[in-house]
Amino acid sequence: MGIHPKHIAVSGNIGAGKTTLTEMLAKHYGWQAEFEDVEDNPYLADFYGDMSKWSFHLQVYFLNSRFEQVNKVRTGDKTVIQDRTIYEDAYIFAKSLHHQGYFNDRDYKNYLTLFDAMIKFVEAPDLLIYLKSDIDKLVRNIETRGRDYESAIRIDYLQGLNSHYNDWIAKYKEGKLLVIDVNDIDFVKNQDDFASIVSKIDVELHGLFS
């Protein structure tokens, strides 16, 4: 591979395994990992307790954090793998919260205005990896990791997110896309499953940067 990718991103619903796969791929390839700010996020616990009250605050926080990450990726000299993309903030989470009535029209319009201004300065990832997962597996994974603030996540909220993910991925044209169905694999416990993912990524990257 003569030229190296600058930006790889891993996308998918809550509980799909994005963070774990990001960590594993960063270690395997020697990439720098950028993670979603959940541990230090000042709004997350409040949001899951009262989505209507805290949706706008949470989404603006995530949007700003992701925008800073993307700018750092493009100005740096290392290959970065990013846990979740700025597109998901707007096209999945903010959109779903608005559709489910947690994000009022005024706040949603204000949010989209901010996103539209930011996205003009954003370059798409060289490769977007989407982890496709059914609701049952998402719920099992969320329960297994046992984060207190996720205990209040509603099934209908996850279903709404999955629906928006399907729509977004079907229309994604910003760059190279690799869809990985994680329903029947365990890339953490099964080395062959992880090796299969790596093999697919290698094929995509060699095609991009041969």
The predicted pLDDT at position 122 comes to 92
Residue 176 φ then ψ, to 5°: -70, 140
The predicted pLDDT at position 2 comes to 43
Break the chain into its structural domains and give their ranges: 7-209
Q: How many CA atoms lie within 13 A of 109 on its CB side?
A: 3
The pLDDT tens digits along the chain (210 residues) read 445 789 999 999 999 999 999 999 999 999 999 987 777 788 988 988 898 999 999 999 999 999 998 988 888 889 999 999 999 999 999 999 999 899 999 999 999 999 999 999 999 999 999 999 999 999 888 887 767 666 667 888 899 999 999 999 999 999 999 999 999 999 999 999 999 999 999 999 887 554
Do 96 and 55 form a contact (C-beta atoms < 8 A)?
Answer: no
Q: Where are the beta strands (DSSP E) in the chain?
A: 7-12, 32-34, 80-83, 127-132, 176-181
The predicted pLDDT at position 41 comes to 83
* 156 annotated active-site: no
Q: How far is CA 3 from CA 59, 205, 207, 208, in A?
A: 35, 10, 11, 9
- The first and second tokens of residue 209, run together, are 């940067």
Catalytic position from the list 37, 77, 83, 186: 83
CATH of domain 7-209: 3.40.50.300
Question: Hey, CA dihedral for 134, 136, 137, 139, is it positive or negative?
Answer: positive
